[in-house]
Amino acid sequence: MKNLLMMAAFLLITGCATSLPMTSSVNDFVMMGTKTNSKESIKYTFTSSVKDGEIKAKNKDGSPNSGLAFTHTETSVLTRMLKEYMESKFTNISQTDSDVSVEIALTKFDLSHYSADSGGKQFATSMFGGETSFLLGAKVIGNIIVNKNGEKLEKKLVASAEDTFVNGVGTGTSSSNLYKGKDSINHTHARNINKANNKFLMQVNSFLEECGL
């Protein structure tokens, strides 16, 4: 459809894979909800199966959208965010003499990008102009393992966030992100990633508290 072709043309103009302006900003709610632990000596490690680089956004059915590729730094960003959180949470982090070990892993990172409108509306917009809404999402999946007093505790972590991007076609659009310059596609994806990462940290914090840390 015409609007989808316009989106593809936009991406071709800006490059095969456009960079996401990702940030490692830790949400104030995460930090305010973090209770400092100065008792235990903690050994902390973070590993990732996700390599920084190109990622293709997925359609609603989970299939990759070949026309939507982005360059991300998810592993590097989450590494910095977890470091800031852990150093705030624990005052005694040691890689040698430790009473407790905390292992956090990032196992999967996905972006989704698909139209929220019906096929009929998309067709009408492509023919006569107007606006088409897209749902943009980010999902972060990992796990955390705590070894404490000879006991191994483990939990899967799944965090996601989504937002709407409005694309204007033709004239007369009123709320188009693109036309009004409020947010680009890349900024919307980056904002979703930061929200998902912060939710990931919240789940880490909640599990550590369940473990008495």
Residue 128 near residue 88, CB atoms below 8 Å: no
Residue type, 145: I
pLDDT tens for each residue of 72-102: 999 999 999 999 999 999 999 987 778 899 9
Of 119, 98, 1, 111, the C-alpha closest to 45 is 98
| Residues in Cβ contact with 61 at an 8 Å cutoff, skipping those fewer than 6 apart | none
Mark 80-103 as b/e (b = at least 16 C-beta within 10 Å): bbbebbbeebbeebeeeebebebb
pLDDT tens for each residue of 11-67: 433 446 789 999 999 999 999 999 999 998 999 999 999 999 999 999 888 888 767
pLDDT tens for each residue of 107-165: 999 999 888 644 444 444 444 455 677 899 999 999 999 999 889 999 999 999 999 88
Q: Please give the pLDDT value at position 2.
A: 39
Residue 137 near residue 165, CB atoms below 8 Å: no
| Residues in Cβ contact with 182 at an 8 Å cutoff, skipping those fewer than 6 apart | none
Q: Please give the pLDDT value at position 154.
A: 97
Reported pTM:
0.83
Give all domains of the chain, ordered by start, each with its CATH number. 2-210 (3.30.160.150)
Residue in the block written with tokens 């904002």: 191
- Burial (0-12, 13-18, 19+ Cβ within 10 Å), 144: buried
Rounded to an integer, what distance in angstroms lies between the CA atom of residue 153 and that of residue 144? Answer: 8
